[in-house]
Amino acid sequence: MSLNTADTTTDSVYEFKTTNIDGKETSLNKYEGKVLLIVNTASECGYTPQYEGLQALYEKYNDDGLVVLGFPANNFGGQEPGTDEEIKQFCKVNYEVGFPMFSKISVKGEDQHPLFSYLTTADNPDFTGAIKWNFEKFLINSNGKLVHRYRSGVKPQSDTIIDAIEKELNS
């Protein structure tokens, strides 16, 4: 599969592997049965304070089965220039991020990671297409399917996202 083309046979996010922020290859199947909120992040963005809301969601709902997954990307305005170690430090020091973070990847363009190719083309009730900026959010149900997608301006602790998370956790 080319990096920027979604595989139409893909059934869930659990089929993808990526590298965590510590450099270890990680299969997303380790989150099977969990509700996931996948977010493309950046450290020097106007939306960067959303890390605080993402961490709050993770703390509130993790015991119920929610896992927030952060994927740093430097695709928009060069707003994630750091190394993985610098990103990890920034997130810990400034926002006490405890949810899983992954190695910096590309979320659009010729070198788009296959996970984000899938997320931007998978059927969902909201919309498909290219990511427009940092901090877009993808809500994945416990079967690994995309159920909602949110643009950057939708805050993590908005009623829209909280209601959708609670619905998925209770289904």
pLDDT for 9 equals: 66
Farthest-apart Cα atoms in the chain, separation: 41
Side-chain half-sphere exposure of 22, counting CA atoms within 13 A: 3
Secondary structure letter of residue 52 according to DSSP: H
For the chain, helix (H) and strand (E) counts, in that order, are: 4, 6
Read off the pLDDT of each residue in 68-76 and give the average, rounded to a whole number: 98
Q: Which residue has the tokens 């899983």?
A: 100
- Cα 102 to Cα 23: distance, rounded to the nearest angstrom: 8
Under 8 Å between Cβ of 124 and 132? no
- Annotated active-site residue 91? The verdict is no
Give the pLDDT score at 2: 35
Residue 39 near residue 66, CB atoms below 8 Å: no
**Percent of residues, the chain, with pLDDT higher than 70:** 95
- Is pLDDT at 11 greater than 90 in this prediction? no
pTM over 0.85: yes
Q: Are 139 and 149 in contact (CB under 8 A)?
A: yes
Distance, in Å, from the CA atom of 101 to the CA atom of 129, rounded to the nearest integer, reads: 24
Catalytic residue among 45, 56, 162, 169: 45
When pLDDT is averaged across residues 21-46 and rounded to a whole number, the result is 97
Structure tokens at 66: 């929610």
Does domain 16-169 fall under CATH 3.40.30.10? My reply is yes
Backbone angles phi, psi at 128, to 5 degrees: -120, 175
- Tens-place pLDDT, residues 81-96: 999 999 999 999 999 9
